[in-house]
Structures are given as C-alpha cells and as structure tokens.
Structure 1
Amino acid sequence: MKITLLPANEFMIEAALFLEGAKGLWGLASAVKNGWKSLGTSSLLSRKADFTVNPSKFDCFFGRVLTGNEHNISRSAQNLKDFNILGVQTEAQLTKVFTKAFNNGTYVDIKTTSYGTTIIKNIMVNKNRSIDVSFFYKDGNMTSQPSVVTIIPKIFKQ
C-alpha cells in the first residue's frame, strides 16, 4: 500500500525521525516552541543529506550477479530488464534517481529492526513507472549518513 502524505504530515514524520537528535519528545516540544535552532537541528532539517551506495550493489542493480544464490541471480537479471524499460542504463543515472528519491520521494514505509531503521521512499521515473528506494540508518541513528540497501522498480501496465 502506497501512502501519500500531506506536506504537514510529511514534516511531522521528518520531525519524528529527528527525535533522537532532538533529545526525545521533550526536545521536539522545545524545538517547536523555541525554533529548531535552539537544539542545533535546523541544519539537519534543511540540508539535503548525502547517502552511500555500496559499489557491489550496482552489480545487483544492473544484472551483473552471475554466481551465488539463485534468487539473487534472478533478481539481478530482473532489475536489468526493469531498468532497460525505465531508461536507466548507467550508475550515474541510477544515482540521480536515488538522489531524487532521497530529497523528494514519497514516504512508503518505515521499518525498524535491532540493526537500524529503513526508510522506503518512492520516486516516479516516468508515467506509470516508479522505483522504491530503501535508505538504511545503522543503529537507528537518523542523523547519520544512510545507505541505499534495496530497490524495487515498479512498472505498471497501462
């Protein structure tokens, strides 16, 4: 299920993601009352943070996984097929998609495990075609630089 949030709701989710940096709920209330600068989080809320992509992920994304787990080989081949349909053929093009998703994507889901928090965002590539991009924050540290861990190309029939 895809959730489209109103701008105010999206802001509240981003604010909640910075609770740790804002010293918990008290910090969030204080930030709202006194402004984000009082907690030193204004730059975190306004900056467009970077993310990392493990270089080996591009092998999976572009169909270059030829040995190992059969599921991974199959998934890699499907990614290549989907990216050809989407018109994404280079690592530079895919990195631009990741950047657009990170900065402007629609929130799809937030998942937390003992390893960290994953935020899944969706970005439209063109009509009836989009990509879900998962950004992982190790140990749930939402002020750290996230890593792109998974992608799900979505191609809808017209």
Structure 2
Amino acid sequence: MSDSKTGPIFDKEPGWGHSVSKWLNRYLITHIAPILIGALIIGLYVRYLPARKSPADPTVSTSPSPTDQQTAWTSDAIRRGDSYTSIARAIVNRVLMIEQTGTITRGARLYAETKLVQDIKAQPLVVGGTLSYSQPAVFDYLYGFDKLSPAQKAKWESYARYIKF
C-alpha cells in the first residue's frame, strides 16, 4: 500500500480466491472427495434399505382361507394425504390380490370402491390411526355389480374408463 494525495492505493495481492483454490487443490482429492463419496453411498444405502421386519411366525397364515373370509376384518393405517377414496381403492386392490380373479371389470371395481367409501365414511380419518373394514363386505360389493341392470353397468363402465386404478 502506498500513500498519495488522493488516498491510499492498494497493490494487487493474492486474495481469498487464490488461498481457497490452493487449499482445494491440496485437500480436494485426498480428503474432501472420499468423504463426499462415502456420504453419498451411505445416504443411498439408507434411502433404499428395505425395512427390516421381524421374522414371521410360521404358524400364522398370511392369506385368509375361504372359511376365514366369512369373518375377516382388516385394518389399514391412515397416512398423511389419504382420502376415503384412496383408502377404498387400496382396500379393493388388496382384496382383489387375495381373491386373484380376472372376472372383475373396471366398472365393478369402481362400483365397489364407491359403495365402500359410503361405508367407511362413518369412521374418522386421523393420521396415524387405523380404519377397519370387513373383507366379505368388499366381496359383496364386487359381486353385487352383477345384480345391476345392463344400463347401470354401462354407466359404471363408462365412468371407469377415466379412472387409473
């Protein structure tokens, strides 16, 4: 720095940019990069780590037998963002996975879902709570679609074309 009549004049000296670039060149490859790569690997491992479950009791059946379906009650946990319709759709999908029948049409699924929404609306939706339903009632709704008139079935089928199940 030199003094003049107009004030001090600062000479050019290496500033923060030069110091930081020297430090990064010295430590980036040897210290920072391995730490960042390790943190990325651990983060991805934790993110995609399957949920660890306790071993299942071999004496407990995971799928209900036909005789169990007469009295089968199931409950679902309510998560944030769930609605009666989304829960009813999940219930119908789960029951169809158990039944594994290919004869249920999209209109029948929509009909059962709509009837089930009317039933479960009596139960409040509280995040973290559970919602109970009867599996035989869902089967009754699915197969009750066959009792509708052809005109009613056609309307349900036309509505169901626009629904993504």
TM-score bracket, shorter-length normalisation: under 0.3
Relative to its length, the structure with more strand (as a share) is 1
Identify the structure with bigger relative contact order (alpha carbons < 8 Å, sequence gap 6+).
2
Which structure's residues are more often helix, by fraction? 2
Q: Which structure is larger by alpha-carbon Rg, 1 or 2?
A: 2
TM-score normalised to the size of structure 1? 0.22
